[in-house]
Amino acid sequence: MKLLFISANRLRRVMPPLPLGLASVIGQLDESRHEIEVLDLMFSADPKADLERALADFAPEVTAISIRNLDNQCSIKTEYLLPEVKELVALCREHSDARIVVGGPAVTVTPAAVFDYLEPDFAIAGEGELAFVELLDRIEDGGDYSGVPGLTWRTPEGLRVNPTAHIADLDTLRPPRRELFDNERYVAEGGIGNILIKQGCPFRCLYCDSPHTLGPHWRKRSPELVADELESIEKDTGVGIVFFTDALFNHPVAYAEDVCRAIISRKLELKWITGVHPAYLTRELLDLMHEAGCRMISLGCDTASAKMLEVMRKDFTKEQLDTALDMLEDTEMQYILSLLVGGPGENRETVEETVAFLADRNPAMLNFCIGIRLMPHTPLAEIAIKEGVISADDPLMEPRFYVSPEVDGWVKDYLTEVCADRPAWTVANE
């Protein structure tokens, strides 16, 4: 079967992310059965013309479109990205008879709403590596689609939405097909490599849908396979810096230590960046991370207000955050801080508390994001419904934000002024 894969993402934010999820889906395919073509629109000067050309030259039987983002998740200068994808789907309909499949994180947020809006033949929510292979089998043999995990499609009786299924053993997956993408261009444009070492999230942040979409428990890859993949990235792609894309690196601590030791045993030159949880950062682990090549840490603390840490369900205290920052600065490990401003109960006192707490710190980058993007299946969405911010039937496909009424109207100007004399401090999209 002739398969055209399209990475629709053109949103860069800080850097352009290589489409790792799509590369992983392609990695599971049997090339003796399928002919594969990839169109990555990240650097395209004319996406529509490039798509029309690919459809004409390759003549696919199935076109699969990977959608990373619904929007830029910023309340100040909001960019809603799905209309651009709808245009791509329409072009596929106009210039090809191929079946159209959409998938990716954006689809997973709210599958039925995205399907209704884009009007493909199929949508796959959740982890698509095995589901896409199964869908191709069903297309080829004309079989029943009811067993394909995460599949949405239209039947004479109406829309069908299958439940998602998590891949229990991540070690059974073959490596992502990174070589099908322009690694050199991504690096030249400021991007870095990326790797996934585990799935799931056992934490309970107020606004986050990861426990729902990825599952509430970690599913971990073998440390040796993680090291294998990093070694391949270094040798086969020439990429020198890698971002670990899983939610948090340092939980469980013992697993993180084992991953570090496996990497150290390979004697790689490659450096990496990852996110950590303040409550589980130990000096022993930090030393191992540095020896294994970690050179920057993202600390998604969201707030430094004791009250707001509880509201946001961050599962660490202000004292633990203080200890973690001390540790990072004592070891001269570079770090990034990401702050979410405007959660329920946020007020001038809590905002000023956060600013005062961080005033003497020395992050490589600190970013304030005003307003929190509302996601389905989260406690924050339930609060927003009760407060009348959104309606109960809003699928949250289009961007909606929660901003505490006690900070709305003044906090943007205040934080812009706070950041003015601190070069490393920024307000998102300002």
For helices 47-58 and 82-95, the axis angle rounded to 10 degrees is 30
Domain end (from 146, 161, 176): 161
Please name the residue ranges forming H helices in 233-280: 253-264
Q: Is 367 within a domain?
A: yes
Residue numbers in the chain where pLDDT is lower than 70: 430
Q: Is 181 within a domain?
A: no
Q: Which pLDDT value is given to residue 143?
A: 82
Give 123-153 as a DSSP string.
EE-S-HHHHHHHHHHHHHHT---TTSTTEEE
Q: Which pLDDT value is given to residue 332?
A: 93
Q: Contact at 8 Å (CB) between 300 and 207?
A: no
Q: Which pLDDT value is given to residue 107?
A: 98
Same domain, 221 and 351: yes
Question: Into how many domains does the chain fold?
Answer: 2
Strands 122-124 and 151-155: antiparallel
Q: Contact at 8 Å (CB) between 428 and 370?
A: yes
Nearest CA to 272 out of 192, 362, 365 is that of 192
Q: Is 174 within a domain?
A: no
Same domain, 97 and 196: no
Give me the domain span that covers residue 144. 2-161
Same domain, 41 and 112: yes
Q: What angle do CA 263, 265, 267 make, to 5 degrees?
A: 80
Same domain, 141 and 219: no
Question: What pTM, to 2 d.p., does this model score?
Answer: 0.95
Q: Which pLDDT value is given to residue 370?
A: 97
User: In angstroms, rounded to a whole number, what is the distance separating the alpha carbons of residues 28 and 220?
Assistant: 19
User: In angstroms, rounded to a whole number, what is the distance separating the alpha carbons of residues 328 and 385?
Assistant: 39
Helix (H, G, I), strand (E, B) or coil at 369: strand
Q: Is 187 within a domain?
A: no
Nearest CA to 97 out of 124, 59, 66, 68 is that of 59
Q: Which pLDDT value is given to residue 115?
A: 98
Q: Which pLDDT value is given to residue 142?
A: 86
Q: Which pLDDT value is given to residue 417?
A: 97
Q: Is 70 within a domain?
A: yes
Tell me the CATH number at 353: 3.20.20.70
Same domain, 395 and 299: yes
Same domain, 155 and 252: no
Strand locations in 245-397, DSSP E? 271-275, 294-302, 334-341, 365-370, 372-373
